[in-house]
């Protein structure tokens, strides 16, 4: 039961609003140490268990170090933002008269699903795509149509931009046969005595992705109408 203390660490950390990365790291160390120690809790055992847990962290990082190259793009994004990337994105989309926030996000949803289905999941994402490009462009489309946006409308557009990225990735990546979720489902079903092929799961993910695209497309259409109604009401109230 001692290993369950890691859950308490997570709950306490989130309640205290500590950095989630730090909370998860501490919870993992606590769980790993207590699992290794077992019932024999003493100073020597705790020290050895701590070293073993940190060793596992190091081994995991070293074995998967080729994945961490994607984090190198974050400083680049920061430099581009400082140089005015978001402002340029707003100016670019403002020149397209037919663009609205919902239409722009619908296009991004299609691109995100298509690239995720090909296994290119790193081409999108909140830090490298939504924050510096997609959300500012959606805001720019709304500003070109309605003028300066109130904070409530701006935050709604940002939230829908993030949601669109999540939906595109979640329902697109399962089409790619070599994704981790496919492997997990195949292994879980095999343990339950159900023999399936990864290709079968991948093919069945296609109609699910199409339905998800249609449903979220309707949500984006309704979102455009809601934003238009709210901003029009705000303009009338200001007059």
DSSP code per residue over 161-190: HHHHHHHHHHHHHTTSTTSHHHHHHHHHHH
Number of CB atoms found within 10 A of residue 73's CB = 13
What's the pLDDT tens digit per position in 165-207? Answer: 999 999 999 898 878 778 888 888 888 888 888 888 889 899 9
Q: How far apart are CA 211 and CA 187, in angstroms?
A: 26
Q: How far apart are CA 108 and CA 164, in angstroms?
A: 8
- If phi > 0 it is left, if psi is from -120 to 50 it is alpha, else beta; for residue 193 that is left
Which sign does the torsion angle of CA 225, 228, 229, 230 carry? positive
- Please tell me whether residue 71 adopts helix, strand or coil conformation: helix
The answer to whether 188 and 166 are in contact (CB under 8 A) is no
Q: How far apart are CA 190 and CA 184, in angstroms?
A: 10
Confidence of residue 132 (pLDDT cuts 50, 70, 90): confident
Number of CB atoms found within 10 A of residue 14's CB = 12
What's the pLDDT tens digit per position in 82-123? Answer: 777 777 777 777 677 677 889 999 999 999 999 999 988 888
- Please tell me whether residue 193 adopts helix, strand or coil conformation: coil
- 29-43, 121-135, 207-221 — which one is most confidently predicted on average? 207-221
Q: How far apart are CA 103 and CA 83, in angstroms?
A: 27
Say what the pLDDT of residue 174 is.
87
Confidence of residue 164 (pLDDT cuts 50, 70, 90): very high
**Cβ neighbours of residue 66 closer than 8 Å, sequence gap 6 or more:** none
Q: What is the mean pLDDT of the chain?
A: 80
What's the pLDDT tens digit per position in 32-74? Answer: 777 766 655 566 666 776 677 777 767 666 655 544 555 566 6
The answer to whether 157 and 101 are in contact (CB under 8 A) is yes
**Cβ neighbours of residue 238 closer than 8 Å, sequence gap 6 or more:** none
Q: Residues 136-162: what's their mean pLDDT? A: 87
Enter the DSSP assignment of 41: -
Say what the pLDDT of residue 62 is.
61
Say what the pLDDT of residue 147 is.
78
Does the pLDDT value for residue 217 go beyond 90? yes
Say what the pLDDT of residue 63 is.
59
What is the C-alpha R_g of the chain? 23
- Model-level pTM? 0.65
């Amino acid at each position: 039961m001692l290993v369950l203390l890691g859950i308490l660490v997570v709950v306490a950390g989130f309640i205290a609003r500590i950095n989630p990365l730090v909370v998860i790291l501490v919870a993992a160390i606590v769980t790993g140490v207590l699992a290794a120690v077992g019932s024999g809790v003493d100073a020597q055992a705790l020290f050895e268990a701590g070293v073993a847990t940190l060793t596992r962290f190091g081994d995991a990082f070293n074995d998967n170090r080729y994945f961490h190259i994607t984090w190198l793009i974050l400083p680049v994004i920061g430099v581009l933002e400082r140089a005015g990337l978001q402002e340029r994105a707003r100016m670019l989309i403002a020149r397209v008269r037919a663009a609205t926030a919902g239409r722009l996000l619908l296009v991004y949803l299609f691109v995100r699903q298509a690239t995720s289905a090909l296994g290119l999941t790193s081409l999108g994402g909140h830090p490298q795509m939504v924050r510096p490009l997609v959300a500012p462009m959606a805001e720019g489309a709304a500003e070109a149509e309605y003028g300066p946006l109130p904070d409530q409308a701006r935050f709604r557009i940002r939230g829908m931009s993030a949601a669109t990225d999540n939906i595109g990735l979640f329902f697109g990546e399962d089409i790619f046969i070599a994704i981790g979720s496919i492997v997990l489902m195949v292994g879980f079903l095999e343990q339950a005595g159900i023999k399936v092929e990864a290709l079968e799961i991948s093919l069945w993910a296609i109609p699910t992705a199409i339905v998800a695209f249609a449903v979220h497309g309707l949500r984006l259409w309704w979102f455009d109408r809601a934003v238009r109604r709210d901003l029009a009401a705000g303009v009338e109230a200001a007059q």
